[in-house]
Structure 1
């Protein structure tokens, strides 16, 4: 994957999310209310996060997941490629600290976070970049820190030119949980939990996977 192609892919994802930021936040700001399994996993992550450390929300969008964690007492930092999403999030969820940035070069210090969540963010990465993103997640986590991932299961790539009436250019890559697990292990994580579920009635009709992985101590 050449840097030129990667740059185009990044640019189109960023621009697409900038375009839908307000609509996305309007539609999804309460989405966890209808996702009991997601809430349970987030609560489990929170319970296992070292007290006093921050939780990163990687690819946070408007930050509704980070805001839910903040309501439960966590210090949260939302990181997103889209300036539009970050701007929308700062207005709606001021309890979250936001940073504009890239999964392949996170704007965070080594070992800054006690744990991290990445819901439906690696689905926008080029396949060759997923391991690099996991290495970067490991860098910003404390030793033994946890990473909670969610993604769509499968092999297809869904391309959107139109999203809620807006013109966009974005790919959603469905992923194989076994391959994602192998990439996590290669990046120095140990996968502790793997769960799959069908979609809730109000969600897109996809099968979803969740992985909870622990960074090595070294």
Structure 2
């Protein structure tokens, strides 16, 4: 798949399943409770009023949660259908369409960046540029939160929620992601791996990393 193709495939996939996806994950479950610990830690590190971008925000639930924790947060997503849900369910927040690979933001303009399961469709060869972009928009001392599925083998879907679709979900090892973040100039502060939440059908462990752009000397 060409580099531009994965962006189009990702947009089409989430446009197709948006309403079903939002309904499926409407109710809290064990994984959500555990994941909130990571979101809470991130929010405390950023600090109240910190400016944060939720990249690949989907229906905006993480965006809204971080806003409830006192952050000044906005969402960005490829899928207009996902954004329609986010705007409908969280009308007080700002959501924009765009790609995290082409961030239209000034250098050092954010206190925090969140990519919560939104890098899982980005090809490996694109990650260095993606993480360099995160480093660019973070102010010195700003924090990054990543969430992703653990593993070595990708999983390709040709059907989801009863829809005919086509998209690959990439799984990665936390140590490999941490190494790429380090190469981009970000310092990993925390690595957390939790077991799959079986009732929700998670087949593999899930990882979250918190990294920081170092203060300038």
Unaligned runs of at least 5 residues, structure 2: none
Structure 2 CA distance for partners of 1:152 and 1:168, relative to 1, 3 Å: same
Is 1:80 aligned to 2:77, yes or no?
yes
Residue 110 of structure 1 is matched in structure 2 by: 107
Q: 1:15 aligns with which of 12, 16, 21?
A: 12
Q: Is the 8 A contact 1:159 1:169 kept in 2?
A: yes
User: Number of aligned pairs?
Assistant: 215
Separation in 1, partners of 2:153, 2:110: 33
1:155 equivalent in structure 2: 152
1:43: which partner in 2? 40
Does structure 1 residue 130 correspond to structure 2 residue 160?
A: no
CA distance in 2, matches of 1:89, 1:9: 23
* Contact preservation (8 Å) 2:30, 2:197: no
Residue 96 of structure 2 corresponds to residue 96 of structure 1: no
More deviation in 185-194 or 93-102? 93-102
Question: RMSD of the TM alignment (CA)?
Answer: 1.6
Q: CA deviation at 1:36?
A: 2.1
The alpha-carbon distance between structure 1 residues 158 and 207, as it changes in their structure 2 partners (threshold 3 A), is: same
Compute the TM-score of the two structures, normalised by the length of structure 1: 0.92
Judged with a 3 Å threshold, the aligned counterparts in structure 2 of structure 1 residues 112 and 31 are, in CA distance, closer, same or farther, namely farther
Distance in 2 (CA, whole Å) between partners of 1:32 and 1:107 is 35
Unaligned stretches of 5+ residues in structure 1: none
Residue of structure 2 in register with 1:198 after alignment: 195
Q: Distance in 2 between matches of 1:118 and 1:46?
A: 14
